[in-house]
């Protein structure tokens, strides 16, 4: 994995040069309320590669400060995804809930310094008092409470004596501040709900903007790198760090989110797709989740390469999903062995070939990698070809099988059309051909040119499997730009998945294991499914426009 230069590395270089930091320490702080997606991969890549580049430490810290949405299922999936990506947290694995005692202790400190107060405004009143982007907010009538009263009320909050929503603990900053995040934000709320790790120990929970800088400081994080939507939260981050008087102060830096065409990154909406069974779970191969991409056949290297090529900057951009497809296609072109599959079969009878004869042709496993060697594919009198490789009324420049035409069977004989047979409904049932038995897998002895090559599978020596073809889940390029009266649901692609059962594959695929990857020649790159029995999922088609961004 390469680490190309970017503005974040320039910041780190400057900090090291000025001795502001000695050892680089980064973190990835996912909330365990859903599965990681391709956007998460960018944050992981940035923080992990920065630590790796500078010989520093990288932490995984679960932001589990909201028990209403969190679950151990998500905790486990996040760990599995990070390890699969190869971003091992050499600095350790932590939980935001590990610091609840410290967060409470620091809240007491802020109250004693006159920098936090208990407020009884309800949610609607808080919004009213907060003001707008053009109008300043108003001080809460509870802002002038004494330190002693605030300490007693906060203790009652902690002891479970007050109901949900009765009050909050707010930072005392400035209700006229131009940044609305600085207008006395709530830093603690009451929530009578057990925590997945802490059980029923707590009924008050710190808010993210308060807890996150504390966690960073306690772990010794030097560069807290996060996506651009937190830029306006940075003044509050600094306020918390400075007023708690940490000796070593972490700093926050922001980068643009990874926006990808035909993709939705909202965990809330992705959860809806799962719960309404529009998709087959979080790991549905159409999902932009890390586990969905893994099940579809993407590799960790291709995902990180995509993030690298997409670039790291601060300005908004949307990256064409074809760049991600290019990355896995480029990798599999060199690594994936070739195999043959006939998805929509029609029988071909080669009438001049001996009925009981079986012949084996050596076919390259990967023309781009001679070290991959060859395999033997069985040839018999009756074979299957794809129905689309024959036309009885072909268009101009049609180089597949057609009346009075010849075509090369990949790695084997040249065959010539003779006749067809149809069933009672008039559907094509069989194609009768003859073979140039002197051609083998060589050029014709008389020097004639045969332009077309098609793939094939023996009708008697093969294996059957299901093949699933995937397309984009959403039909709109930019899902951030939907019409006002519509929702994501209106742009779901009805043809995002097509299943073909009992396809004929060459015999060697009988031994394929879940997760094995192949190029099915002339079709695309595929991965054997890890959940569905005897099924191959399309990872990406063969064609490649080689986009840049």
Q: How many angstroms separate the most distant Cα atoms in the chain?
A: 104
Query: Rounded distance, CA 311 to CA 305, Å?
Result: 10
Query: Rounded distance, CA 306 to CA 316, Å?
Result: 17
Is 451 designated active site? no
What's the burial of 507, exposed, middle or buried (CB within 10 Å: 0-12/13-18/19+)?
A: middle
The CA-CA-CA angle for residues 94, 212, 210, to 5°, reads 140
- From 27, 42, 267, 528, active-site residue: 267
Whether the Cβ atoms of residue 98 and residue 210 lie closer than 8 Å to each other:
no
Q: Identify the DSSP state of 460.
A: S
Query: Rounded distance, CA 462 to CA 505, Å?
Result: 6
Query: Rounded distance, CA 257 to CA 40, Å?
Result: 9
DSSP labels, 22-48: SS-EEEE---SSS--BHHHHHHHHHHH
The phi and psi torsions of 353 (rounded to 5 degrees) equal -100, 140
Which are the contacts of 466, defined by CB distance < 8 A and separation ≥ 6? Answer: 499, 500, 501, 502, 503, 532, 534, 535, 536
Would you state the torsion angle of the CA atoms of residues 281, 282, 285, 287, taken in this order, to the nearest 10 degrees? 120
Neighbours of 136 (CB within 10 A): 14
- From 3, 31, 80, 231, active-site residue: 31
Kindly give the pairing relationship between strand 168-171 and strand 116-119. Answer: antiparallel
- From 257, 271, 272, 418, active-site residue: 257
The CA-CA-CA angle for residues 372, 375, 380, to 5°, reads 160
Residue 344: alpha-carbon gap to chain centroid: 31
- Could you tell me which of 341, 363, 332 has the C-alpha nearest to residue 463? 341
Neighbours of 512 (CB within 10 A): 19
Is 257 designated active site? yes
Residue 445: alpha-carbon gap to chain centroid: 52
Is 267 designated active site? yes
Query: Rounded distance, CA 131 to CA 47, Å?
Result: 36
Strand stretches in 71-196, DSSP E: 92-95, 116-119, 168-171, 186-190
- Name the one residue in this structure whose structure tokens are 């699969």: 84
Query: Rounded distance, CA 394 to CA 403, Å?
Result: 9
- Could you tell me which of 34, 25, 15 has the C-alpha nearest to residue 94? 25
Q: Which residues are catalytic?
A: 31, 257, 267
């Amino acid at each position: 994995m390469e680490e190309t230069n970017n503005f974040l590395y320039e910041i780190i270089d400057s900090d090291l040069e000025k001795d502001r930091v000695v050892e680089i320490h980064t973190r990835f702080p996912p909330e365990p309320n859903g599965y990681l997606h391709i956007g998460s991969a960018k944050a992981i890549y940035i923080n992990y590669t920065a630590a790796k580049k500078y010989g520093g430490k990288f932490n995984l810290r679960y932001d589990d400060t909201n028990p209403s949405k969190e679950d151990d299922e998500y905790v486990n999936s996040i760990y599995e995804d990070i390890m699969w990506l190869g971003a091992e947290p050499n600095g350790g694995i932590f939980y935001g809930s590990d610091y609840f005692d410290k967060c409470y202790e620091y809240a007491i400190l802020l109250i004693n310094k006159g920098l936090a107060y208990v407020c009884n405004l309800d949610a609607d009143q808080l919004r009213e008092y907060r003001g707008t982007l053009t109008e300043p907010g108003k001080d809460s009538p509870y802002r002038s409470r004494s330190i002693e009263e605030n300490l007693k009320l906060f203790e009652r909050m902690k002891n479970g004596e007050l109901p949900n929503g009765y009050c909050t603990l707010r930072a005392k900053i400035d209700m006229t501040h131009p940044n609305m995040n600085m207008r006395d934000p709530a830093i603690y709320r009451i929530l009578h709900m057990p925590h997945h790790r802490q059980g029923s120990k707590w009924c008050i929970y710190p808010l993210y903007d308060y807890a996150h800088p504390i966690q960073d400081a306690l772990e010794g994080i030097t560069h807290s790198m996060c996506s651009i939507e937190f830029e306006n939260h940075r003044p509050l981050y600094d306020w918390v760090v400075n007023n708690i008087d940490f000796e070593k102060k972490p700093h926050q830096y922001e980068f643009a989110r990874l926006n990808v065409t035909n993709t939705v990154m909202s965990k809330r909406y992705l959860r809806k797709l799962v719960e309404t069974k529009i998709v087959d779970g979080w790991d549905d191969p159409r999902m932009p989740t890390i586990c969905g991409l893994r099940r579809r056949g993407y590799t960790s290297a291709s995902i990180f390469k995509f993030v690298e090529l997409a670039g790291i900057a601060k300005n908004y951009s949307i990256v064409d999903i074809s760049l991600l497809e290019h990355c896995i296609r480029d990798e599999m072109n060199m690594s994936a062995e070739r195999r043959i599959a006939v998805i929509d079969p029609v029988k071909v009878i080669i009438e001049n070939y001996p009925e009981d004869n079986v012949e084996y042709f050596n076919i390259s496993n990967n023309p781009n990698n001679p070290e991959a060697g060859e395999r033997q594919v069985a040839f018999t009198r009756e074979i299957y070809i794809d129905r689309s490789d024959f036309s009885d009324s072909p268009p101009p420049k049609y180089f597949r099988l057609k009346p009075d035409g010849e075509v090369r069977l990949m790695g084997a004989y040249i065959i010539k059309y003779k006749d067809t047979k149809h069933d009672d409904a008039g559907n094509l049932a069989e194609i009768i051909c003859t073979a140039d038995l002197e051609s083998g897998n060589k050029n014709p002895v008389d020097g004639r040119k045969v332009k077309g090559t098609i793939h094939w599978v023996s009708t008697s020596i093969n294996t059957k499997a299901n093949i699933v073809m995937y397309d984009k889940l959403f039909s709109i390029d930019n899902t951030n730009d939907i019409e006002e009266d519509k929702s994501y649901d209106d742009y779901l692609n009805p043809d995002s998945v097509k299943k073909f059962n009992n396809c004929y594959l060459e015999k060697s695929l009988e031994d394929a294991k879940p997760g094995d990857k192949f190029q099915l020649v002339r079709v695309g790159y595929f991965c054997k499914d890890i959940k569905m029995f005897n099924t191959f999922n399309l990872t990406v088609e063969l064609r490649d426009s080689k986009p840049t961004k």
